[in-house]
Amino acid sequence: MTGKPPFDAVTLRAEGQRAALYRYGSVLTELRAGGSAQCFEVGDAVTPARPAVAVAEPVSEGWLLHLPAGATLNIELPAHAHWYGQGSFVRQTFPLDRMSLAPAPLMSWDNGPAGHGCIQEALWLASSGLAIQAEQLSESLHAGINPPADTNADATRGWVSVFEADGVRPALCGDPAARRLVLRTEQATTLRLIVAADLPSAYRAALAVIGHPTEMPPAPLLAAPIWTTWAKYKADINAERVLEFARAIRSHGYPGATLEIDDRWQAAYGATEFDPQRFPDPAGLVATLRDLGFSTTLWITPFLAADTANAGEAWRKGYLVKRPGGLPYPVRWWQGEACLLDLTNPAACDWWADKLKALQVASGIAGYKFDAGEANFLPADAATHTPIERSEYSRLWAGFAATHFPYGEARCGWRGQRNAILYRQWDKFSTWGEDNGLASVVTQALALGLVGYPFVLPDMVGGNAYGNTVSPELMIRWTQACAPMLAIQFSIPPWELGESVDAICRRYAELHVALAPRRLAAGRSATLDGTPPIRPMVWAAPDRAEAAAIGDQYLLGDDLLVAPVLREGQTARDIWLPPGRWREYWLGAEHPGGWLRDYPAPLDMLPMFERLG
């Protein structure tokens, strides 16, 4: 059940180019273009008996709302409009207002208790052209959407690793007409209220704060599939298995330019040399992989096992996160406890970059997969070289990756939109739904694009197989859904699921390569003006109410519409085409804009349409 705002709460309602602030059911003030600065009272959660004063200051394309500490602002949309933004969640709904989330600190999480994910951003956009944005990111800003009546439902949950996680967070909203965004401030906060003509215009106005990349990730990561050892082997890897995997990829005729060696190529976490027992000749292995057409990357984290030589050296140099008393802080992560690299210390970053570059030169690898880095791994009472809010750690880790090792990927994001690196989605379950299964691959790509992350890497095709069996149907539909996306990553071998699965998945892996010119062109558009390469229907038709609610199809660039099948057992689906003329990619039939009901989608078919004209 969705809760209602307190009667004395300040509520902002917007319709078109007009916005008004309400309290006690009456208009506090109207915000109109060209108006003057206005003051208004907001509830003070710190001292309820003392009204606190906020200021609305007109600026180009909207208003600045200067809110005091303890203020709560409710922003409501009419039922025909929808919310998007904030970033990634374990259950990824699209639009955002299909979920119910109690106000919680804005911070990056590896599987947050309420369902928050690895990439968070203080930007919320509406299909109507309204947007709310914080110019400075801070955990002191709490955000919720259609909060439940019981706002403490997740308060007692602590962090658990992906191996113990479920996908039911955040909960779904039970009220289909609810459109309430709730923002609370623990310290004085300035919010930017953008009032634009439509969603693309509001997004472009928001770019003034978040920015966009000016370069692309390395082309091989986008032009051909990435292969990784993780879902297939987990941590049970060695040189023999890596070569067996690479040769099987080639013998089954699959394209691929990058092979990623995941956990555990090291003898201990935090080591920067290969385990000599598992990988006796790393340079020889990498050279053989190169002969097979693969560049090699290695999985890496900011965690250093306490008994490693690197941890000892880092401690002596002052490069580790410390307890308040000065000792190294052992932090808990999904593989136990370890020391944490202090990324706020420039000397520590240089030291770690030198270590990783030395390994790169010695072995011939191309780059790294940068895992972890979320705020929850930095304890709240930790001492760092330079004091930071915890989520700043995510910005530093992804920025370190993009600066020193762009051939690779990161997964945590905190105002990291300018980085020319692939941002990987969180570990997907081998299930169907938007609760961290196949459907969430599409909704998360759309959601991250609208908060300014254009270079999204869907997680492994078929998911991570954490206790789930990947069915032939799921493997095929997952491959199809990802094939036209900017990048695709395999680990579970399709050929192990039967000849027909092998043939269909190979066909769509080849489609990924065939679409490379179109995908690279869409990526380049992001470097010019920040336009997302993977776009929702509301981007193409912002004036159509039906487009605003669609989260199960996407556009690659302006002119290729992709409508994957995301439900088990489905062999037909409804497809909405934006205004204009469209041609079926496979069969050539032409259609006007509008709905195609029960469009055939047999198991070997990915519905796609090209815009004409």
Active site residues: 371, 374, 435
User: Around Cβ 109, how many Cβ atoms within 10 Å?
Assistant: 28
Interatomic CA distance for residues 164 and 504, integer angstroms: 32
Closest CA relative to residue 360, chosen from 410, 295, 315: 295
Q: Can you tell me the distance from the alpha carbon of 563 to that of 581, in angstroms, rounded to the nearest whole number?
A: 16
Are 272 and 304 contacting, i.e. CB atoms less than 8 angstroms apart? Answer: no
CA 350/CA 463 separation, integer angstroms: 35
Handedness of CA 233, 496, 252, 570 (dihedral sign): negative
DSSP string spanning 202-258?
A: HHHHHHHHH---SSPPPHHHHHS-EEESHHHHTT---HHHHHHHHHHHHHTT---SE
Structural contact between residues 92 and 171, judged by C-beta atoms closer than 8 angstroms: no
Nearest C-alpha neighbor of 99 from the set 160, 142, 144: 144
CA 601 to chain centre: 28
Rounded CA separation 166/94 (Å) = 19
What is the CA 200 to chain-centroid distance, rounded?
Answer: 19
Rounded to whole angstroms, how far apart are CA atoms 16 and 548?
Answer: 15
- Strands 18-23 and 26-31 come out as antiparallel
- How far apart (Å, rounded) are the C-alpha atoms in residues 456 and 428? 14
Token couple for 67: 């809110």
